[in-house]
Structure 1
Amino acid sequence: MRIPYAPTDPSDPSPETQAIYERIRERRKPRPLIPLDLALLHNPEIADGYNRLLGAIRTKSSFPLALAELAICYIAVLNKATYEWTAHAPIALKAGVKREALMALLSSEGLPGAKLDAQAFSEDENMVLEYTYQSTKEIIVKDDLMEKLKAIFNHQQVMELAITVGGYNMVSRFLVALDVTESNGKKMEMPAE
């Protein structure tokens, strides 16, 4: 990492800081704090806000989990965030994303415009991936795509897709900027079967 990780126990043992560490530990159970947490904990208040936001995106969303995880994995590919890929590809598979779909995402790495093989994905997956690409790389999402999304998903789910893509773009950019887990430049690989 480009800066040292924060300590696993707070250097400021105030009740407020202790409570933040405990909330983050609770979210990670049964695992210990992960490198991402230790990068964020240089500022416990920011780490706490991050933990609440990403925790809600991951566990309080009505947007289909498999589609959300597919979008997160595509963000990892688009932004060259190997650590994000390594963390989310297994979750995507458990959520029901087909192995072939993840392999198609990986095969797009480095292609101009990150062209995907549309045949590797369902209609809904293609729509979510197009949204993810437009939001991540073009920033402005075209009106016709938003209309297609609103025809399939309710307003809450469209918002949840938008915050998932926006949130995980934040995550990937943070991971890459600080080289959390020293993953920059490492090859993204499919999870073991």
Structure 2
Amino acid sequence: MRIPYAPTEPADPTPENEAIYDRIRERRKPRPLIPLDLALLHNPDIADGYNKLMGAIRNKSSLSQALAELAICYIAVLNGATYEWTAHAPLALKAGASREALEAVLKGDVTSEAMLSEDERMVLAFTGQSTKSIKVEDALFESVKARFSDQEVMELTITVAGYNMVSRFLVALDVTESNGKIMEMPR
């Protein structure tokens, strides 16, 4: 990492900071704090806000978890965020994404009708446009709106935006010293 990780216990152990560490530990259970947490915990208030937002995106969304994880994995590929890929590729498979779909994402072949469903291609096109161009073309946005509820469209949008933030943070600070490492399919 390009700066040292924050300590696993608050440097300033006020009741507020202790509560923040506890909330983050609770979300990570049964795992300990991860390197991303320790990078963020240089500012406990920012880490707390991050934890709440990303926890809601991951755990309170009605969008298909498999589609969300494929989008997150594609963001990792587009932004060169190896740590993000390594963390989320197994989650995509666990959520029900096929190995073929995940392999297509890893190869950047997100238009393959043979490997991807129509919904997957649509979500990945949205993810690609939002990540690379920021603006999603009207025709694609209308297709997404016709297929998904307004809530799901918002959840897809915040998932893509949120995980672009994550990938940019991971890469800029080289969290886990993963920059430049090869992204591989999970076993």
Deviation larger for 80-89 or 114-123: 114-123
Which position in structure 2 is the counterpart of 1:69?
69
State the alpha-carbon separation in 1 of the partners of residues 114 and 139 from structure 2. 21
Deviation by residue 1:107-152 (Cα, 9 ceiling, x = unmatched): 22xxxxx764343110000000000000000111011111111111
**TM-score scaled by length of structure 1:** 0.95
Which position in structure 2 is the counterpart of 1:45?
45
Which position in structure 1 is the counterpart of 2:130?
135
State the alpha-carbon separation in 1 of the partners of residues 100 and 144 from structure 2. 24
> Structure 1 residue 90: deviation in Å?
0.3
Which position in structure 2 is the counterpart of 1:24?
24
SS of the aligned residue for 2:154 comes to helix
Cα pair 1:127 1:149 within 8 Å, conserved: yes
Aligned residue type for 1:117: S
Aligned residue type for 2:139: D
Give the number of aligned pairs: 187
Percent of pairs with identical residues: 74
Q: Which one of the candidate residues 147, 160, 169 is aligned to 2:155?
A: 160
Q: Structure 2 unaligned runs (5+)?
A: none
State the alpha-carbon separation in 1 of the partners of residues 133 and 127 from structure 2. 10
Cα pair 1:20 1:48 within 8 Å, conserved: yes
SS of the aligned residue for 2:114 comes to helix
Query: After TM superposition, what 4+ stretches of structure 1 lie above 6 angstroms from structure 2?
Result: none
Aligned residue type for 1:154: S
State the alpha-carbon separation in 2 of the partners of residues 82 and 190 from structure 1. 11
Cα pair 1:5 1:39 within 8 Å, conserved: yes
SS of the aligned residue for 1:9 comes to coil
SS of the aligned residue for 2:10 comes to coil
Cα pair 2:104 2:110 within 8 Å, conserved: no
Deviation larger for 154-163 or 99-108: 99-108
Q: Structure 1 unaligned runs (5+)?
A: 109-113
Aligned residue type for 1:191: P
